[in-house]
Amino acid sequence: MTTMKDVASHAGVSTATVSRVLNGHAAPTQETRARVLAAIEELGYRPNALARSLRTTATKTFGLVISDLVNPFFAEIARAVEQEARAHGYCVVLANADESAEQQTTYVRTLLDRRVDGLLVCPATDDAAWMDEVVATGLPLVLLDRSVPGADCPVVRVDGAEALADLAATLVGAGHERVGVIAGPSDTSTGRERLAQFGSALAELGHPVHPDHVVHGDFRWESGKQAAAKLMGLPDRPTALVAMDNLMGLGALEQVRELGLSVPGDVGIAVYDDQPWFPLLDPPLTVIAQPTVEMGRAAARCLIALIADEQPPDVDLTARLVKRGSCGETGRG
């Protein structure tokens, strides 16, 4: 590879001058500037980002740690983060934790070692030992989607309380007596919050969720399927299922179909998270839609602000209910 030294000698100047030209300093003459640029062009020189970063202690890179890339919810976020980062001249190193806390810790360490300029993390669980290490280095950090107890950094999250209340009302209005909930892991903030908010909304309407009608999954397809199997196998089975994540929802739908039940005829289904193709499902799913693109964007902007030594506030977006009839709400309510 050609280095700055090559360019310098080729242009008959010192490396300092080449560097100044490269970084747009005022100093160099139009004439030397031209000579240097010509040399760069001629040699096909490209600066070594590693060397530059080592010297400047800036990598123009974000680390993005997400818990599951095949979950379209996270894929959309990742895409949005990447777009916003790119617009500001940053690259994104992607780390897929596969919903594992250890994997996540390992990755955070790797990203620290690589001296990323900032870290965006969707925490896999509440266990935030990794956070201490990050805080110790003073690296800008933003939490995304899920928060963790005692976190001392900006958090970008989505408030689903209202949407869940709307959903509860819709379900009750559609005549559902017993609502089964396929909740997320109770060691994630979203797992806990969604369940709590939805539960209290239903309780307020006089239809509290029966403890047996709550099953915890792990935000993945298979767990949703199993949860649905369990719930629908109960003697007093639910008349509607609410899955607190899109993959679990799809798993539940698959299970219900395999049981030969019709939706919403035999059982209603609603799902947290929306996808462009949800209207094409059989039946089109009633969902709680989160502004994923806005989440990713906001998180990236937040991180950029942190890097600029500003003190960005938390970002709270809101989810909203989208009715498509899979709870029988058009037919009945």
Partner DNA sequence: CTGGGTCATGTAATCGATTCCAGTGCACGA
Partner DNA sequence: TCGTGCACTGGAATCGATTACATGACCCAG
Catalog residues that contact a copy of itself under the rule CB under 8 A: 1, 44, 46-51, 53-54, 59, 61, 69-70, 72, 75-76, 78-79, 82-83, 86, 91-96, 109-110, 112-115, 133, 136-137, 221, 250, 253-254, 257, 276-277, 279-284
Instruction: Please list, in sequence order, all residues whose beta carbon lies within 8 angstroms of the beta carbon of residue 58, skipping any fewer than 6 positions away.
Output: 117
Neighbours of 110 (CB within 10 A): 14
Residue 202 near residue 170, CB atoms below 8 Å = no
Residue 178 touching DNA (CB under 7 A):
no
Instruction: Rank residues 98 and 314 by Cβ distance to a copy of itself and give the closer one.
Output: 98
Instruction: Specify whether the CB–CB gap between 28 and 35 falls below 8 A.
Output: no
Compute the distance between CA of residue 118 and CA of residue 309 in angstroms, rounded to an integer.
12
For the chain, give the longest Cα–Cα distance. Answer: 87
Min dist CB 129 to DNA, Å, is 22
Span between the terminal Cα atoms of the chain, in Å: 70
Instruction: Tell me the closest approach of the beta carbon of residue 262 to a copy of itself, in angstroms.
Output: 13
CB of 141 vs DNA, minimal distance in Å: 20
Choose the contact partner of 28 out of DNA, a copy of itself, none; CB within 5 to 8 A by kind: DNA
Q: Which of 34, 38, 41, 54 binds DNA (CB under 7 A)?
A: 54
Closest CA to 290 of 270, 315, 319, 248: 319
Task: Give me 120's structure tokens.
Answer: 């965006």
Comparison of 26 and 280: residue with beta carbon closer to DNA: 26
Q: Which of residues 9-38 bind DNA (CB under 7 A)?
A: 12-20, 22-23, 26-29, 31-32
> How many CB atoms within 10 Å of residue 128?
22
Our CB check for DNA shows the closer of 3 and 83 to be: 3
Residue pair 197/160 in contact (Cβ under 8 Å)? The answer is: yes
Report, in Å, the least distance between residue 22 CB and a copy of itself: 12
The binder of 27, among DNA, a copy of itself, none, by C-beta within 5 to 8 A per type, is: DNA
Q: Which two tokens stand for residue 200?
A: 């209290």
Query: CA 254, 256, 260: angle at the middle one, nearest 5?
Result: 110
Q: Residue 75's CB: how many other CB atoms inside 10 A?
A: 14
3 binds, among DNA, a copy of itself, none (CB under 5 to 8 A by kind): DNA
Partner residues linked to 214 by β-bridges: 181
207 burial level (CB within 10 Å; 0-12, 13-18, 19+): middle
- Piece in contact with DNA (CB under 7 A), picked from 44-52, 184-192, 305-313, 315-323: 44-52
Tell me the closest approach of the beta carbon of residue 58 to DNA, in angstroms: 9
Stretch that binds DNA, among 55-63, 130-138, 246-254, 273-281 (CB under 7 A): 55-63
Residues in contact with DNA by CB under 7 A are: 1, 3-5, 12-20, 22-23, 26-29, 31-32, 47-48, 51-52, 54-57
